[in-house]
Amino acid sequence: MADQAANAVLAGRSAIVTGGGSGIGQAIALHFARSGARVAILDIGTAEETLGSIQAAGGEASAIRCDVTRQDDVGRAFAEASERFGALDILVTSAGVAHVGTVEQTTEADLDRLYAVNVKGVYNCLRLAVAAMKGRGGVILNVASVAASIGIPDRFAYSMTKGAVLSMTLSVARDYVEQGIRCNSISPARVHTPFVDGFLAKNYPGREAEMFAKLERTQPIGRMGRPAEIAELALYLCSDAASFITGTDYPIDGGFLTLKM
């Protein structure tokens, strides 16, 4: 990473990426570090793989265990990140959980779990980020989903929470634009992450390849997205190149929203 100074569009910036231990969050943390940011990787599990990859390439990062559903834990993690890397410039809220099921198949426990991570967890991070950025500016990027904008079968609770993420994005953008804070969201369609592999292994043992191909065909472009592709959009929106963009949701979906109907 040290030899990519010409591409260091985030040089000198301090970033927090939640859910940075795997999947989309991991790809964003890696890409931000390659682009010069000092990255605090927050995850309820281990983020050592992400941290090791960044450090091996000469980047600067820290892995911090954090349960985003607990406001005191988020406060501790943000304070630790600030102590190490300085004032917060960028927040990416990538931590999230999924659930497959209709409203009848969604238990109260399911709903509470998704709300706690996908809604309250984002709120906890937004609240602290805004306080840290007020008066000096900063960028917030929330990871929503195409499920926030279109009816997807068997995604009742997940769609509800991602709709809330989209609404929170608009509210924060409106309330803090005069404080120099930009807030946007990205809405991926299906992306090939460890969640997809785990879902197929659990629900379709022995048929993983067949079902993987079927899932890919649900995207008009003919395949799932790659985490690195999501990270490219995240980098742009968190860079100065996007300084005129706030209060906007960006689908990155292989044509799912516009070509599927």
Q: Which residues are known catalytic residues?
A: 158
Q: What is the amino acid identity at position 7? A: N
Q: Treating both helix axes as pointing N-terminal to C-terminal, what angle do 71-85 and 121-133 enclose, rounded to 10 degrees?
A: 40
Residue carrying structure tokens 């600067």: 60
Cα distance from N-terminal residue to C-terminal residue, the chain? 42
Alpha-carbon torsion, ordered 73, 24, 104, 261, to 10 deg: 150
Closest CA to 182 of 93, 135, 247: 247
Chain CA centroid to CA 136, Å: 23
CA distance 121 to 167: 14
> Quick one: residue 45, left, alpha or beta (phi over 0 = left, psi -120 to 50 = alpha)?
beta
CA distance 29 to 126: 18
